[in-house]
Amino acid sequence: RCLTNLEDLEANEHRNSTAVREQFDRLESLQEARQQLGAELRRAAGSASNTAVLRAEEHAERMFVAKGEEVAREASVRLRAQVAMLEDRLQSSQDANEVAREVGRAGISALHSELRSYLGAQSAGQQSESDLKQEFHARVEENTAELHALMSDCSRLTEEFNAIRCSGLSHEWAIPRCMQRLRYLSLATEPGLWLDSDPFSLGPVGPMTLRLYPRGLRSGDGQCALALRLPAAANAPPPLLVELAVGDMGRRVGQGRDPEGGGTIWLAESLGDLGVHTGGSDAADLSIRAQFPALQAGLAISRATISGEERMPPD
């Protein structure tokens, strides 16, 4: 709006300047007409009296002056009107400029307020993000420490479990020159033939014997089998499960009734070929093992202790 008002003022000023120039041109044309009239009068003076010439000159001078004053008055009136209009427009332009300045100042103040609010919110967001990051890292460190402690506990429990599992009662029967001895006793070819170990005890449970079937049972698959036998007159109650192994191959088997003598027997079949266990060598020794698992060994010892207390005579 201010630019439009300024352009209007410049256009009006240009028009006023043009009008003033036109008035001055008219005055100059009148001056030239006066000069021409004077020349004509002077030429006419040669044939008329001086008085008439002077009177005509005075009359022409008065007419010229009157016309010039009229033209000057008209130009002055127009100039004053245009100046008043220009002053009004300039005043309105100044008022509009002042209003624009006030509006601009108010808008700038509002923008500053919004900018301060935005910067404050951004600073608060950055602070909250920093707090969240610190809390997250603290939680991660806590969880990492707890995880390490849990892994340490698991490792310790695993070691304890392995120690407990390996702490069961066991007995090993070593047969020196196994294949040579079996061939000497004619036990290496037919199934159903066996070789017994010397009697032994596993903790309070005994006496027990290990029976090796080099070619398995008569109704078996031809692989060696192993039995752990406990007579019916044993002092302690037998465990439910026993681990039997020939060489590197073993099985965990449950107890059953021994058809010979009515005792307890644990029988494991399909324990591999003796030729594989001995590496095809007649001079190789063979290791045979019987083991009570840790829990079964503890139960057997507990049962033996309770049974012994029950059999103790009163004082």
The predicted structure's pLDDT at residue 50: 61
The predicted structure's pLDDT at residue 253: 92
Residue 115 to residue 241: CA distance in whole angstroms: 81
The predicted structure's pLDDT at residue 212: 93
Distances (CA, A) of 9 to 14, 21, 25, 74, 213: 9, 18, 24, 22, 129
In the predicted structure, residue 6 carries a pLDDT above the cut 70: yes
The predicted structure's pLDDT at residue 220: 84
The predicted structure's pLDDT at residue 44: 67
Q: What does the block give as tokens for 301?
A: 């010892």
Q: DSSP states of 194-232 as a string?
A: -EE---EEETTEEEEEEEEETT--TTS-SS-EEEEEE-T
Q: What does the block give as tokens for 96?
A: 């509009």
Residue 135 zone, left/alpha/beta (φ > 0; ψ -120 to 50; rest): alpha
More confident residue, 229 or 91: 229
In the predicted structure, residue 170 carries a pLDDT above the cut 80: yes
Condensed to tens digits (0 to 9), the pLDDT of residues 204-258 reads: 787 889 999 999 998 888 899 999 998 887 766 778 889 999 988 999 999 898 8
Percent above pLDDT 90 for the chain: 13
Q: DSSP states of 183-194 as a string?
A: HHTT-SSSTT--
The predicted structure's pLDDT at residue 45: 60
In the predicted structure, residue 314 carries a pLDDT above the cut 60: no
- Residues paired with 175 in a beta bridge: 286
The predicted structure's pLDDT at residue 233: 78
In the predicted structure, residue 263 carries a pLDDT above the cut 70: yes
Question: Which of 56-65, 163-172, 209-218 ranks highest by mean pLDDT?
Answer: 209-218
**Across residues 76-101, what is the average pLDDT?**
74
pLDDT confidence bin for 306, thresholds 50/70/90: very low
